[in-house]
Amino acid sequence: MIKVGIVGGTGYTGVELLRILSQHPEVHIQVITSRKEAGTAVAELFPSLRRRVTLKFCDPTEAALEGCAVVFFATPNGIAMQQTRSLLDSGVRVIDLAADFRIKDVAVWEKWYGMSHACPELLADAVYGLPEINRDEIKGAQLVANPGCYPTAVQLGFLPLIEAGIVDTDHLVADTKSGVSGAGRKAEVHTLFAEASDNFKAYGVPGHRHLPEIRQGLSNIAKKPVRLTFVPHLTPMIRGIHATLYARLTTDTDLQLLFEKRYAGEPFVDVLPMGSHPETRSVRGSNLCRIAVHRPQGGDTVVVLAVTDNLVKGAAGQAVQNMNLMFGLPETLGIDHVPLLP
């Protein structure tokens, strides 16, 4: 059994991680931390986990994380980088669900996250945890930077086009929508029911923290800098990411065949039949990314539609997918859930 520690298990990502790991046949959850909820039973805070998780939250200063084989950080940005070095030195593998290790350029990271990086020397060693691109590197990784929710959907949608070199990478557009759980489990006016329900709005148009992460990933695929316009929106739903991606074709090709070949054998990417329009509810509660590719009116613009559950493939499910790879387990173990409907 893999002894697992979770730092920061009181947010939506943390409870999703608990839900998944508590059903994983090769995992023993050894410790879960929270300063605010120390001493509180996990099942008291999250009744959905009654009879599944019997642990109590413990204070991070008292947690024996060094006794774990892997530690997940489901914390705000800036927390994991404070503890990762000591855990790695103790032989513990780390999966960070926040953004501390996603961006390789420390100056870019500090610009977008507004703080000094505590261990910039680890950025080069961190493996970006998008299995569809970095599967082999993840298997041998000691430190995995789990991708963000928007970056997962956008990169998977653009990946086949950029790899094939058939689109103009100077004019990529990502029009994305997220449910309110993407904002985290905290009290803020814009996520109040009376504010978010029956409403739809764009945000972060001048610049969103996921932009440099997406741009870095797409540039790595293209092997040159790409230009991307990224516009996120908040939608009145709890879970879900919908990415509508636009690119100008430079070469005529069978787009449906291109996507089907690229993702053949990928357990968590489902390329839908030609003409499909994936819905966020078709992936809710699952680790799936469902994709459809269109070429409207046979023109020179390709439109890719990608949907994921922001808390699963966009966060906790993908983190467990990475853990499975790191420990030589079947990649789908514990996360091959059928989506919830309705």
9 pLDDT band, cuts 50/70/90, is confident
The CA distance from 302 to 249, in Å, is 7
Instruction: Calculate mean pLDDT across residues 298-314.
Output: 98
pLDDT band at 183 (very low <50, low <70, confident <90, very high): confident
pLDDT in the model for residue 190:
83
pLDDT tens per residue across span 188-209: 888 888 888 999 999 999 999 9
Domains of the chain listed by start with CATH number: 2-125 (3.40.50.720), 150-310 (3.30.360.10)
**Residue 206 pLDDT:** 95
Active site residues: 149
* 104-129 average pLDDT score: 97
pLDDT, tens digit, for every residue of 259-297? 999 999 999 999 999 999 999 999 999 999 999 999 999
Secondary structure, 3-state, the chain: CEEEEEECCCCHHHHHHHHHHCCCCCEEEEEEECCCCCCCEHHHHCHHHCCCCCCECECHHHCCHHHCCEEEECCCCCCHHHHHHHHHHCCCEEEECCCCCCCCCHHHHHHHHCCCCCCHHHCCCCEECCHHHHHHHHHCCCEEECCCHHHHHHHHHHHHHHHHCCECCCCEEEEEEECHHHHCCCCCHHHCHHHHCCCCEECCCCCCCHHHHHHHHHHHHHCCCCCEEEEEEECCCCCCEEEEEEEEECCCCCHHHHHHHHCCCCCCEEECCCCCCCCHHHCCCCCCEEEEEECHHHCCEEEEEEEECCCHHHHHHHHHHHHHHHCCCCCCCCCCCCCCCC
